[in-house]
């Protein structure tokens, strides 16, 4: 197979469905996904775009957050990753890769739906890294439900706490630490624009993340800080297999994208690097879709 940066047909660059059905309990372990996702472990090559920077990435153990964490470290940043304690085995792999890149790695296990922890993790990151100048709020909960009657108050509460409240708590705790030139990046979804019937609560939070981040960008630019949203389409991560989608949809995940396959996490990492780095100096309050051709209009 040609390497990731060799010119080639993007439709056949990575695995296509059908994939095996593979249920896992939430939050799931990326290391057990079949086929194994490409988070850039072997394929991401850095170019010094984030030399000396200090990044906090929530949900940095797996999936899109892991790809961002690996890319940031290869670009020269020290990286703290936040994750759930049950994800320790995925987190250890990422921490080792950050260290292999010659950077400082900080582990922050805990549940962000807890306000006290969301605030504490920021303080721990500041202590461990010696500051924060890239903040990626990416952790998310997705749980499909067949119809509106099945979305319990507990489901609704957990999704809103994880996807919206935690973002607010983490942002509030982090802003006083962010220096001029810092960058905030939040992960929303194409679901903010094209909500699936089975993701009522999740899609609602993703639309909220877009509005929150755009409003935040207007405040932060007054301090010389940028804030942007990334809106992914279907990416091959454990979020889907661990309850985010029915298993029949996991087996055909990404089939309906223009590429006929899901994206691999490494394919979205360059967008996080651009938004984090000074190369993104004129970009704020924007939403970057990487949707597999669906668009976010």
Residues that bind ligand NAD (CB under 6 A): 27-28, 30, 59, 61-65, 83-84, 87, 111-113, 138-142, 162, 187, 189, 232, 234-235, 237-239
Q: How far is it, in rounded angstroms, from Cα 121 to Cα 87?
A: 16
Q: For 47, list phi and psi in degrees, rounded to 5.
A: -140, 25
- Of residues 58-77, which lie at the interface with Mg ion (CB under 5 A)? 61-62
- Is 44 one of the annotated active-site residues of the chain? no
Of 193, 202, 212, 272, which is the active-site residue? 202
Nearer to ligand NAD, 62 or 183 (CB): 62
In this structure, are strands 226-232 and 287-290 parallel, antiparallel, or unpaired?
Answer: parallel
Q: How far is it, in rounded angstroms, from Cα 11 to Cα 249?
A: 19
Asked if residue 108 binds Mg ion (CB under 5 A), the reply is: no
Nearer to Mg ion, 62 or 186 (CB): 62
Residues in the chain: 297
Cross-strand bridge partners of residue 106: 80
In the bound complex, what is the minimum distance in angstroms from residue 138's beta carbon to ligand NAD?
5
Q: What Cα–Cα distance (Å) separates residue 81 from each residue in 46, 87, 99, 122, 127?
A: 19, 11, 13, 11, 13
In the bound complex, what is the minimum distance in angstroms from residue 75's beta carbon to ligand NAD?
19
Contact of 160 with 205, CB cutoff 8 Å: yes
Helices (H) and strands (E) in the chain, counts: 9, 7
In the bound complex, what is the minimum distance in angstroms from residue 291's beta carbon to ligand NAD?
9
Instruction: Select the binding partner of residue 141 from ligand NAD, Mg ion, none (C-beta < 5 to 8 A, by kind).
Output: ligand NAD
Nearer to ligand NAD, 72 or 83 (CB): 83
Nearer to Mg ion, 76 or 234 (CB): 234
Instruction: Select the binding partner of residue 194 from ligand NAD, Mg ion, none (C-beta < 5 to 8 A, by kind).
Output: none
289: Cβ contacts below 8 Å, ≥ 6 apart? 190, 231, 233, 295, 296
Asked if residue 213 binds Mg ion (CB under 5 A), the reply is: no
Q: Which residues bind Mg ion (CB under 5 A)?
A: 61-62, 87
Q: Which residues are catalytic?
A: 202
């Amino acid at each position: 197979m040609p390497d990731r940066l060799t010119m080639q047909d993007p439709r056949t660059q990575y695995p296509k469905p059908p994939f095996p059905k593979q249920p896992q309990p939430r939050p799931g372990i990326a290391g057990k996904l079949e086929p194994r996702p490409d988070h850039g472990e072997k394929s991401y090559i850095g170019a010094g775009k984030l030399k000396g920077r200090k990044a906090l990435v929530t949900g940095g153990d797996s999936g899109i957050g892991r790809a961002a964490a690996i890319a940031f470290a290869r670009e020269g940043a020290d990286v703290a990753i936040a994750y759930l304690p049950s994800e320790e085995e995925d987190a250890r792999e990422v921490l080792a890769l950050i260290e292999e890149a010659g950077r400082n790695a900080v582990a922050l296990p805990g549940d962000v739906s807890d306000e006290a922890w969301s605030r504490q993790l920021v303080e721990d990151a500041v202590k461990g890294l010696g500051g924060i100048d890239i903040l990626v709020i990416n952790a998310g909960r997705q749980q499909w439900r067949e119809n509106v009657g099945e979305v319990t108050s507990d489901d609704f509460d957990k999704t809103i706490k994880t996807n919206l409240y935690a973002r607010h708590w983490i942002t509030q705790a982090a802003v006083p630490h962010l220096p001029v030139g810092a960058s905030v990046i939040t992960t929303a979804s194409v679901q903010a624009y094209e909500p699936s019937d089975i993701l009522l609560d999740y899609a609602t939070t993703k639309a909220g993340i877009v509005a929150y981040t755009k409003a935040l960008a207007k405040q932060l630019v007054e301090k010389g800080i940028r804030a942007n949203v990334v809106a992914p389409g279907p990416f091959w991560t454990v979020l889907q297999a661990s309850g985010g989608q029915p298993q029949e949809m996991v087996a055909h995940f990404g089939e309906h994208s223009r590429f006929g396959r899901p994206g691999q996490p490494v394919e979205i990492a360059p967008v996080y690097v651009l938004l984090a780095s000074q190369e993104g100096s004129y970009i704020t309050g924007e939403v970057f879709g990487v949707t597999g051709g669906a668009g976010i209009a």
